[in-house]
């Protein structure tokens, strides 16, 4: 047991000495690369400070500390196209570009006219003659008691319309005029989700009033909430409701015309030439920096395609000065618009091609960076595997040491059990000896007691015989003969008691 324990302690001390010596050996080896890296950093710092100034610093900052390109999410195709093709300046709102559809007579097209197919779908229960607001008859009107709490009317337009303005009028003299009203829209009916177009306040007049929306909105169903009124008449009336705007077909044709016309402006020529050039120092967009590094051949091809498209797009007097529309467009104008649309698609194809080239180059660099990262991770993984193997070896050493400890424990426990058994045997034998000693002592006491009793009897007999001899002198010979046996008995009892007492 002691030998196994000493061997274990010696082995642990040897392993600690080896680990300490290994650390001391590694320290001078690890210091030399650190000095080398610090020297390289100082050298690079001196080169950067003597470089081209801001541009070099900007390149270092954009590349990053570990030499990787920034992995900013690339622009979407729509955003890239808008940056590549959209002209600078404020965007044009829908309100400025909406051109109302007109009828053959030159009058604005009313999408809330009963003759065009519009109709009233719902109104409050107190209302009378709700469909009259869609007719041109000024003597008919919508009539509501002014005391009604909720006054509304739901109108279905003749077709889906980009609503730009609404016109109302009340020609009835003996009634209260509408003051405040709310306009809501929806593309489906029935619905619980109405889109609010705005709140308006009408004047206290007896002629038509027009209200323009802040932002045109597509609608098929309109809900007119009548909130308040002027005066204190019993009835509140409304004669006419007209809705002006442009339908989907007219809007599509207008968009097709506006796109080629916007490309014919002189400012677009300069923008097309600098479309794929390198951005200025003020624009710090990493995706545009990657776009500026694309091949010059694709740039020249794109410029040639756009110049050819511009040559084909000869300005037409009918398109430059757009007169008010009268009905639908003729067939040749539609074909001309379609040709311009095809040319626009050709330009868009070149933009898409440059976009794909930029994405290819950008993702190629990113994948290369990923490959480098994977190689570094592989090296780190190999190092981790070696560390794991060394840990496994140490685990085996510890397992062997623990096995020796367990074996020493088993032997010690077996020896301890044997000692416990021997102790129990000795204890039992000691108990037996103790009992035997007690028995002997009891027997000794019994013998002493009996010797004492016999000695007392012999002494008493001799004393009595002595008294009788004094009284009977003539029988002295008989006395000696008879008392000799008692003397022997007394002498033996005294000797036995003396021996046992010792």
Q: In b/e form, how buried is each residue of 214-243, taking b as 16+ CB within 10 angstroms?
A: eebbbbbbbbbbbeebbeeeebbbbbbbbb
Could you tell me if 239 and 268 lie in one domain?
no
Could you tell me if 226 and 328 lie in one domain?
no
Nearest to 157 by CA among 217, 221, 223: 221
**Residue 31: is its pLDDT beyond 50?**
no
The torsion angle over the Cα atoms of residues 302, 308, 311 and 316, rounded to 10 degrees, is -80
Domain boundary among 204, 221, 254: 254
Provide CB contacts within 8 A for 408, sequence distance 6+. 1, 4, 5
In this structure, are residues 141 and 239 in contact, taking their beta carbons and an 8 Å threshold?
Answer: yes
The pLDDT tens digits of the residues spanning 59-89 come to: 333 444 444 444 555 666 666 666 665 544 3
Element (H, E) at 240: strand 240-247
What per-residue confidence (pLDDT) applies to 227?
92
Could you tell me if 195 and 276 lie in one domain?
no
* HSE-CB of 308 using CA atoms within 13 angstroms: 10
What secondary structure letter does DSSP report for 201?
A: E
Q: Specify the range with the lowest mean pLDDT, choosing from 70-79, 220-229, 311-320, 383-392.
A: 311-320
Stretch 450-468: mean pLDDT, rounded?
A: 79
* HSE-CB of 388 using CA atoms within 13 angstroms: 6
Could you tell me if 83 and 105 lie in one domain?
no
Looking at per-residue confidence, does 478 or 223 come out higher? 223
What per-residue confidence (pLDDT) applies to 453?
79
In this structure, are residues 232 and 179 in contact, taking their beta carbons and an 8 Å threshold?
Answer: no
Angle at 325 between CA 320 and CA 328, to 5 degrees: 110
The pLDDT tens digits of the residues spanning 115-131 come to: 989 999 999 999 999 99
What secondary structure letter does DSSP report for 381?
A: H
In this structure, are residues 124 and 148 in contact, taking their beta carbons and an 8 Å threshold?
Answer: yes
**Strands 235-238, 240-247: parallel, antiparallel or unpaired by DSSP?**
unpaired
Stretch 221-247: mean pLDDT, rounded?
A: 91
Task: Report the interhelical angle of 2-49 vs 54-63 (nearest 10°).
Answer: 150
* Residue 375 is assigned to a structural domain of this protein: no
Provide CB contacts within 8 A for 324, sequence distance 6+. 102, 106
Provide CB contacts within 8 A for 247, sequence distance 6+. 101, 111, 159, 160, 161, 162
Element (H, E) at 185: strand 180-186
What is the C-alpha to C-alpha distance for residues 346 and 312, in angstroms, rounded to an integer? Answer: 12
What is the C-alpha to C-alpha distance for residues 338 and 342, in angstroms, rounded to an integer? Answer: 6
* Residue 378 is assigned to a structural domain of this protein: no
**The model's pTM:** 0.39
What per-residue confidence (pLDDT) applies to 42?
52
In this structure, are residues 78 and 352 in contact, taking their beta carbons and an 8 Å threshold?
Answer: no
Could you tell me if 243 and 102 lie in one domain?
yes
Q: What are phi and psi of 206, to 5 degrees?
A: -110, 40
What is the C-alpha to C-alpha distance for residues 249 and 233, in angstroms, rounded to an integer? Answer: 44
* Residue 17 is assigned to a structural domain of this protein: no
Provide CB contacts within 8 A for 143, sequence distance 6+. 127, 128, 129, 175, 235, 236, 237
For residue 287, give both structure tokens: 């995706």
* Residue 196 is assigned to a structural domain of this protein: yes
* Residue 294 is assigned to a structural domain of this protein: yes
The pLDDT tens digits of the residues spanning 463-478 come to: 887 788 787 655 555 5
* Residue 405 is assigned to a structural domain of this protein: no
- Residue labelled with tokens 């609503």: 163
Structural domain range at position 106:
98-254
pLDDT-derived band at 454 (thresholds 50, 70, 90) equals confident
For residue 423, give both structure tokens: 């102790």
Read off the CATH number of the domain in which 121 is found.
Answer: 2.60.120.260
Could you tell me if 108 and 141 lie in one domain?
yes
What secondary structure letter does DSSP report for 177?
A: P
H and E: helices and strands count for the chain: 11, 8
Could you tell me if 240 and 271 lie in one domain?
no
For the chain, the average pLDDT equals 72
What is the C-alpha to C-alpha distance for residues 206 and 439, in angstroms, rounded to an integer? Answer: 146
- Would you list the DSSP string of 96-160? HH----B-TTSPBP-TT-GGGT-EEEEE-TT-B-GGGGGSS-TT--EEEETT-S-EEEEEEEEEE
Which of helix, strand or coil describes residue 274?
Answer: coil
Nearest to 199 by CA among 240, 235, 166: 166
In this structure, are residues 162 and 216 in contact, taking their beta carbons and an 8 Å threshold?
Answer: yes
The pLDDT tens digits of the residues spanning 384-427 come to: 999 999 999 999 999 999 999 999 999 999 999 999 999 999 99
Query: What share of the chain has pLDDT > 70, as a percent?
Result: 59
- Residue labelled with tokens 């950008």: 362
Domain boundary among 254, 289, 316: 254
Domain boundary among 368, 396, 429: 368
What is the C-alpha to C-alpha distance for residues 456 and 483, in angstroms, rounded to an integer? Answer: 15
In this structure, are residues 93 and 215 in contact, taking their beta carbons and an 8 Å threshold?
Answer: yes
What per-residue confidence (pLDDT) applies to 186?
93
* Residue 245 is assigned to a structural domain of this protein: yes
pLDDT-derived band at 487 (thresholds 50, 70, 90) equals confident
Could you tell me if 234 and 118 lie in one domain?
yes
In this structure, are residues 306 and 350 in contact, taking their beta carbons and an 8 Å threshold?
Answer: yes
Stretch 415-440: mean pLDDT, rounded?
A: 90
* Residue 494 is assigned to a structural domain of this protein: no
Could you tell me if 232 and 310 lie in one domain?
no
What per-residue confidence (pLDDT) applies to 393?
92
Could you tell me if 232 and 270 lie in one domain?
no
> What domain count does the chain have?
2
Looking at per-residue confidence, does 315 or 387 come out higher? 387
What per-residue confidence (pLDDT) applies to 337?
63
Could you tell me if 124 and 223 lie in one domain?
yes
Q: What are phi and psi of 151, to 5 degrees?
A: -120, 120
What per-residue confidence (pLDDT) applies to 450?
78
Could you tell me if 229 and 342 lie in one domain?
no
What is the C-alpha to C-alpha distance for residues 252 and 338, in angstroms, rounded to an integer? Answer: 12
């Amino acid at each position: 047991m002691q030998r196994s324990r000493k061997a274990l302690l010696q082995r642990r001390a040897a392993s600690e000495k080896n680990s300490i010596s290994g650390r001391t050996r590694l320290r001078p080896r690890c210091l030399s690369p650190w000095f080398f890296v610090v020297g390289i950093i100082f050298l690079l710092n001196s080169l950067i400070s003597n470089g081209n100034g801001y541009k070099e610093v900007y390149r270092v900052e954009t590349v990053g500390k570990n030499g990787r390109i920034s992995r900013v999410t690339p622009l979407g195709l729509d955003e890239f196209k808008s940056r590549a093709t959209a002209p600078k300046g404020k965007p044009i709102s829908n309100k400025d570009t909406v051109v109302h559809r007109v009828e053959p007579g030159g009058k604005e097209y009313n999408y809330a006219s009963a003759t065009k197919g519009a109709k009233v779908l719902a109104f409050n229960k107190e209302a009378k003659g709700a469909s009259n607001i869609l007719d041109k008859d000024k003597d008919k009107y919508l009539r509501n008691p002014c005391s009604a709490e909720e006054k509304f009317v739901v109108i279905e337009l003749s077709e889906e319309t980009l609503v730009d303005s609404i016109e109302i009028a009340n020609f009835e003299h003996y009634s209260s005029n509408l003051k405040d009203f709310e306009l809501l829209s929806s593309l489906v009916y029935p619905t619980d989700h109405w889109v609010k177009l705005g709140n308006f306040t009408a004047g206290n007049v007896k002629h038509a009033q027009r209200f323009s929306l802040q932002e045109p909105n597509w609608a098929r169903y309109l809900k007119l909430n009548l909130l308040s009124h002027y005066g204190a008449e019993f009835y509140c009336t409304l004669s006419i409701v007209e809705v002006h705007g442009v339908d989907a077909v007219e809007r599509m044709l207008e968009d097709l015309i506006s796109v080629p016309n916007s490309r014919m402006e002189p400012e677009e020529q300069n923008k097309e030439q600098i479309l794929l050039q390198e951005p200025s120092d003020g624009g710090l967009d990493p995706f545009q920096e990657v776009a500026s590094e694309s091949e010059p051949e694709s740039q020249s091809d794109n410029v040639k395609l756009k110049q050819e498209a511009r040559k084909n797009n000869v300005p037409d007097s009918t398109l430059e000065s757009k007169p008010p529309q009268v009905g639908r467009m003729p067939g040749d104008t539609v074909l001309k618009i379609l040709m311009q649309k095809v040319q626009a698609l050709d330009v868009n194809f070149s933009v898409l091609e440059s976009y794909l080239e930029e994405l290819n180059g950008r993702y190629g660099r990113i994948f290369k960076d990923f490959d480098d990262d994977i190689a570094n991770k592989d090296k780190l993984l190999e190092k981790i595997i070696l560390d794991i193997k060394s840990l496994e070896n140490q685990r085996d050493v510890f397992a062997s040491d623990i096995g020796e400890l367990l074996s020493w424990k088993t032997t010690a426990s077996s020896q301890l059990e044997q000692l416990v058994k021997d102790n129990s045997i000795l204890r039992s034998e000691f108990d037996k000896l103790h009992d035997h000693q007690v028995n002997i002592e009891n027997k000794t006491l019994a013998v002493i007691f009996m010797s004492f009793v016999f000695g007392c009897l012999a002494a008493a007999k001799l004393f009595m015989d002595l008294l009788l001899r004094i009284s009977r002198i003539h029988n002295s010979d008989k006395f000696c003969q008879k008392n000799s046996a008692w003397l022997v008995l007394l002498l033996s009892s005294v000797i036995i008691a003396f021996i046992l007492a010792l």
